[in-house]
Amino acid sequence: MKRRQFIQHIGLTTIGMSVLPSLSFASQESLTNFGVALFTLPKSLSEDFEGTLKMISEIGYRELEFFGPYDYSTAAAKEGWKMAANALGFSGSGYFGKSPKELKVILDRYGLSAPSIHIDLPTLQENMGAVAEAAHIVGHKNVGIAMIPDDMRKNLDDYKKTIDIFNEVGANAKKHGLNFFYHNHGYGHSPMEGVIPFQMILENTEADLVKMQLDVFWFTAAKVDPVKYLADNPGRFISLHVKDMSELKTFAGDGGNMGEWMGLFPYLADAGSGVLDLQKILASAKKSGVKHFFLEKDLTPEPEKALQNSFKHLTGLTL
């Protein structure tokens, strides 16, 4: 090898070696776009909506996930919410009295975006046009349901009908420029006639029409490994509800009713203060294609403290 060729070869090799470390760690970085699922602090939002969003932004969160009902929700959804909200001790929901345009101005003011909302299934079936109109103003991309209504999951036939509905709603959402997703609340993981209903939903809904949101707390409560589901279904889960659990607890039954969910609320913990391996779960989620990570600590009595503690831990993780 001539001297000039040798020098060029050494130079290229040196450059290559210097690049290798950066390549090997390129996938290991801290996430910076953590969001907040707003059911974490509905009382604070009801009392001071803009002040609460300002606080969320100042802590460092950048994304929000709203919960319904909304002005464009069905009358039945609004009526049902009144009873539930009164029992929980607050009244606000949706955009908390703001129009979509007013909300967008507030979000922009504090450097926030709202890529995702929870909404009831009948509204998506009946009022998709109105949902999409508001979504495109505010900036929602993903519209999903927090749970399947009780009467749509009593047996496998119910689940089969629900799968058809999901595919139809997903197709209509796509026509309106939106993604439809399903948030599982921990039920449907126990065998029903030898079949796991949640797995049946995954396998029989159209992957490009029906996306999923994984809640790490409720999956754990259902004795399900979130890391395995994420690894086995790349690209299917578009967002995570990030929670922690003060001690490992699981449902006494199949996790199919409000009593079982409320019974586990006392075990919700600030991210990093509990027993869940959030480093492993979030790293797996990132690898699987999850794009949005919403911190949620349902109805927490000290929201600012919980958000601060959780943000400090989450942004310190190397994924």
Tens of pLDDT, residue by residue over 197-237, are: 999 999 999 999 999 999 999 999 999 999 999 999 999 99
Does residue 312 surpass a pLDDT of 70? yes
Q: Domain for residue 214, yes or no?
A: yes
Q: Which domain holds residue 202?
A: 29-314
Which pLDDT band, with edges at 50, 70 and 90, does 19 fall under?
very low
Helices and strands, counts by H and E, the chain:
14, 10
- pLDDT value at residue 87: 79
Q: Domain for residue 15, yes or no?
A: no
Which pLDDT band, with edges at 50, 70 and 90, does 30 fall under?
low
Does residue 12 surpass a pLDDT of 70? no
Q: Domain for residue 19, yes or no?
A: no
Give the helix/strand (H/E) hosting 248: none
**Higher pLDDT among residues 197 and 26, named by residue:** 197
Which pLDDT band, with edges at 50, 70 and 90, does 154 fall under?
very high
Tens of pLDDT, residue by residue over 54-66, are: 999 999 999 999 9
- pLDDT value at residue 4: 40
Which has the closest alpha carbon to 154: 115, 106, 125, 187? Answer: 187
Q: How far is CA 25 from CA 22, 29, 288, in A?
A: 5, 8, 17
Q: Are 214 and 285 within 8 A, CB to CB?
A: yes
Q: Domain for residue 16, yes or no?
A: no
Report the pLDDT averaged over residues 273-280. 98
Cβ atoms within 10 Å, residue 133: 14
- pLDDT value at residue 44: 96
- The pLDDT mean for the chain works out to 91
Does residue 6 surpass a pLDDT of 80? no
**Higher pLDDT among residues 81 and 312, named by residue:** 312
What single string gives the DSSP state of each residue in 188-228? S-S-BTTB-HHHHHHHHS-TTTEEEEEEHHHHHHTT--HHH
How many distinct structural domains can be found in the chain?
Answer: 1
- pLDDT value at residue 29: 62
Tens of pLDDT, residue by residue over 173-199, are: 999 999 999 999 999 999 999 999 999
pLDDT above 70 covers a percentage of the chain that reads 90
- CATH number, residue 34: 3.20.20.150
- pLDDT value at residue 237: 98
Q: Domain for residue 17, yes or no?
A: no
Q: Domain for residue 11, yes or no?
A: no
Does residue 18 surpass a pLDDT of 50? no
- What is the residue whose two structure tokens read 């993604």? 179
Q: Domain for residue 1, yes or no?
A: no
Q: Domain for residue 22, yes or no?
A: no
Is 0.75 surpassed by the pTM of this model? yes
